[in-house]
Amino acid sequence: MEDRRTNKICIGNKTITLLYATLKDRKEIHNMDHEEKEIHDSIYHGPVKPTPFNEVADDEDIEFHKGYKNKSNYLLIEYGNKVIGAVSHSNNQGPIENMEIDITIRSTEYTGKGLGSQTILLLTDYLHDEYGIKAFIIRPSKINIRAIRAYEKSGFIKVENYNGKLYGDPDDYYGDYGLNGTENMVKSYL
């Protein structure tokens, strides 16, 4: 793996460091969901063939890969001097201002150790302190039980009657997995 010491550090603790992603990281981040079959299958419903990076590169929002603090960012997750995944946050304007979080851990070698929960807790605490954001949403696939448990450990709760319009979704969008396949989860700071 490439040395990331040139990426600026966003935040970190004794275990995890979050590094601002740059344009050079886009392809690696795009491919993380598909590097390992077990990770891929836990995220996607049925056999989903990954879209090659060169077919989506123009559609990717470069705003997320500027390499410095922004209300919408991709961050690389570093553990033991290795990039083990990526996490993003995007600012949503709605009646309830919020940020949506998305995370990928690239290998089962790093799952089941609390690293995902720790990453999300570290990031949401930082974003709350930095920007005053009081609500966060995350929308995993309902079949991704391991991820759902990790999100619950970091303070998210399942919302059965999720109203996307409250969170800035004009079409009441239900995430990447549709109405029946998405587990809508919210974390609130009071």
Helix (H, G, I), strand (E, B) or coil at 45: coil
Residue 42: predicted pLDDT: 76
Let me know if residue 3 belongs to a domain.
no
Q: How far apart are CA 155 and CA 17, in angstroms?
A: 20
The residue type found at 8 is: K
Q: Is residue 133 part of a domain?
A: yes
In this prediction, residue 183 has a pLDDT band, given cuts at 50, 70 and 90, of very high
Helix (H) or strand (E) holding 124: helix 115-131
Mean pLDDT of 13-41: 88
| Interval 135-145: pLDDT, tens | 999 999 898 88
Question: Who has greater pLDDT, 23 or 174?
Answer: 23
> Residue 37: its pLDDT value, please?
83
**pLDDT for the residue 179:** 77
Number of neighbouring beta carbons within 10 Å of residue 34: 17
At 176, which CATH number? 3.40.630.30
User: Is the Cα dihedral 99, 128, 66, 138 positive or negative?
Assistant: negative
Report the distance separating Cα 151 and Cα 185, nearest Å.
8
Average pLDDT of the chain is 86
Residue 88 lies in a domain: yes
The domain containing residue 152 runs over which residues?
9-188
If one counts the domains in the chain, the total is 1
Structural domain includes residue 2: no
Q: Examine the pLDDT at 2 and tell me if it is beyond 50.
A: no
Average pLDDT (68-82) is 93
Amino acid 84: pLDDT: 96
Across 5-14, 61-70, 128-137, least confident range: 5-14
| pLDDT, position 57 | 62
**Is the residue at 34 inside a domain?**
yes
**Does some domain include residue 157?**
yes
Work out the average pLDDT over 77-100: 93
- Residue 159, domain member (yes or no): yes
Angstrom distance (rounded) from CA 171 to CA 129: 30
Give the model's pLDDT for residue 60: 57
| Of 102, 123, 119, the residue nearest 110 (C-alpha) | 119
pLDDT bin (cut points 50, 70, 90) of residue 170 is low
pLDDT of 143 reads 87
Helices (H) then strands (E): counts for the chain: 6, 8
Strand order in the sheet with 185-188: 9-12, 16-20, 73-79, 82-92, 98-105, 135-138, 185-188, 157-158
Q: Is residue 4 part of a domain?
A: no
